[in-house]
Structure 1
Amino acid sequence: MNPDQEFVQRDTAAHPPAFTPIYKTSAFRSPRLPLWSLQNSLSEVTGPVFGQGELGPLDNDLVRNYAREGGEPIGERIIVHGHVLDGNARPVPGALVEFWQANAAGRYRHRNDRYEAPIDPNFGGCGRCLTDAEGRYHFRTVKPGPYPFRNRVNDWRPAHIHFSVFGSGFAQRLITQMYFEGDPLIPHDAILATIPDPAARERLVARLDLNAALPLHTLAYRWDIVLRGSRSTLFENRLQGN
């Protein structure tokens, strides 16, 4: 660590407790006993190493990577881009970023999704990319729709995209969700409401970026993923702090 760079203590208070009554399923998912710490095997901390050879040419283009010949998905086309950064705002190159989402009607292409919205035959809803030498990632997709979920009587999820970021091994995987600036459902979301720190909630919201938009064609949103530090992104599977 560079001695000129400040060490930032983890803020565990920014993360939601495992049991959060406003989110009903946390009653079933939250642990009842103290967690066990298991020793990682060598394969879990040293591999795999991801390279461009593992990626297909359309992996980061959700508009085209599942479309039938001559078909296109329905919905508002958008570009999502940003950086993956460490706690000192340095780029993280070569990180595998995966993303998945509902279609423009708010339905996932998954057999357990029973929402009555239609499935788009030209939209698969998942993709991946590697960050470049400057830690940048980008992909093209359609803006996901909101959808209801069985929590309270009339709870809806805001439009969101799920993200997974891999480190240098299988045990170094972080998962989170990204939301969209201006979505009126954000203040009403029971899942976001489990996060006690308003600033941490704001760091999950992508901002409209007209400078990266394609005129007369595609809007763009920017969202940076910060792995740790005072400006870190909140990750679902790292509740002990970043």
Structure 2
Amino acid sequence: MTTERANVDHISRTPGEYFQRNRDMHPPAYTPIYKTSVGRSPQKALLSIEQSLSEITGPKFNHNELGPLDHDMIRNYEQGGEAIGQRIIVHGRIMDESGKGVPHTLVEAWQANAGGRYRHKKDAYLAPVDPNFGGCGRCLSDEDGYYFFRTIKPGPYPWRNYVNSWRPAHIHLSIFGPSFSQRLITQMYFEGDPLIDICPIIKTIPDEEAIKSLIAPMDLNSSIPLDSRAYKFDIVLRGRRSTLFENRLEGN
């Protein structure tokens, strides 16, 4: 191998920093309509810090680390029967900011049951606990970044923000990506839910397109007749950093 080719290969394998997040799309930290943000929001300006090697590399996962039913939340907690509720499939593609599929990335999901109650000792909502539903699962994306899991459609639930506040039905998702800097924790909502437009948490998001990206449309083409409906939810992670603006990290 020539020295020139070796240098090119070395550069292509060297991890680069990631795109700075577009903060115009994300909700501001201080949003009084979401009451708990008042006490949790930072009081000082954010700092732009150069990413370290430990942040632009990350954990590696493989199928040997997953159980055979980890992706099937309808059955992975069964205590003599399957989970009760509308059976659904959630699927989509994990992509970087350039639109390239992110392979072998861990997708973790957790949610309330069909009645809107979490399996958590501090959840005091009156809806009953489903003995056959644990409310969590995980899967790995394939070579092209595609993922899927089975579950039941969660129910909405009340919460103490203002009088008669209700959260829309949603599924929490954690995606690791190929590095710690790419880890994303988000919520997936369902097309047609009337609670989306009045949810104080969603209303903190200033960008309409960003809100739409959190809403999964129903996908009848991927549904299983007489069994499960499908919802398609694509997820975009941070990609390799663009060219530096005047050599300043904060310029991206």
Amino acid at match of 1:112: K
Structure 2 residue aligned with 1:63? 74
Shift of the 87–46 alpha-carbon distance from structure 1 to 2, 3 Å rule, reads closer
> Which has the greater radius of gyration?
2
1:41, 1:73 → 2: CA distance?
44
Question: Residue 143 of structure 2 aligns to a residue in which SS?
Answer: coil
Instruction: Say if 2:11 is the partner of 1:11.
Output: no
1:209, 1:152 → 2: CA distance?
34
Instruction: Say if 2:66 is the partner of 1:50.
Output: no
Q: Which whole-Å deviations, capped at 9, do the CAs of 1:19-41 have from their partners, x for residues lacking one?
A: 00110100111112345677877
Aligned residue among 72, 92, 96 for 1:86: 96
Instruction: Say if 2:80 is the partner of 1:76.
Output: no
Q: Which whole-Å deviations, capped at 9, do the CAs of 1:183-228 have from their partners, x for residues lacking one?
A: 1111111100000111110110001000000111111100100124
The correspondence of residues 33-48 of structure 1 with structure 2, limited to 5 A, is 33-35=44-46, 45-48=56-59
Please report the TM-score for the alignment, with normalisation by the length of structure 2.
0.82
Unaligned runs of 5+ in 2: 1-10, 13-18, 240-249
Question: Residue 192 of structure 1 aligns to a residue in which SS?
Answer: helix
Structure 2 residue aligned with 1:232? none
Structure 2 residue aligned with 1:105? 115
1:200, 1:94 → 2: CA distance?
25
Instruction: Say if 2:169 is the partner of 1:159.
Output: yes
The correspondence of residues 1-242 of structure 1 with structure 2, limited to 5 A, is 11-35=22-46, 45-68=56-79, 70-228=80-238
1:123, 1:17 → 2: CA distance?
35
Shift of the 145–17 alpha-carbon distance from structure 1 to 2, 3 Å rule, reads same
Deviation (angstroms), 1:169: 3.7
Aligned length: 225
Amino acid at match of 1:61: D
Question: Residue 79 of structure 1 aligns to a residue in which SS?
Answer: strand
2:59, 2:237 → 1: CA distance?
19
Shift of the 168–88 alpha-carbon distance from structure 1 to 2, 3 Å rule, reads closer
Deviation (angstroms), 1:42: 5.8
Deviating more after overlay: 208-217 vs 82-91: 82-91
Structure 1 residue aligned with 2:245? none
Deviation (angstroms), 1:13: 1.4
Deviation (angstroms), 1:11: 3.3
Q: Which whole-Å deviations, capped at 9, do the CAs of 1:134-185 have from their partners, x for residues lacking one?
A: 1100000000000011001111000000010102344542100000000111
Deviating more after overlay: 163-172 vs 176-185: 163-172
Shift of the 16–44 alpha-carbon distance from structure 1 to 2, 3 Å rule, reads closer
Amino acid at match of 1:193: K
Question: Residue 187 of structure 1 aligns to a residue in which SS?
Answer: helix
Shift of the 227–155 alpha-carbon distance from structure 1 to 2, 3 Å rule, reads same
Shift of the 75–187 alpha-carbon distance from structure 1 to 2, 3 Å rule, reads same
1:38, 1:111 → 2: CA distance?
39
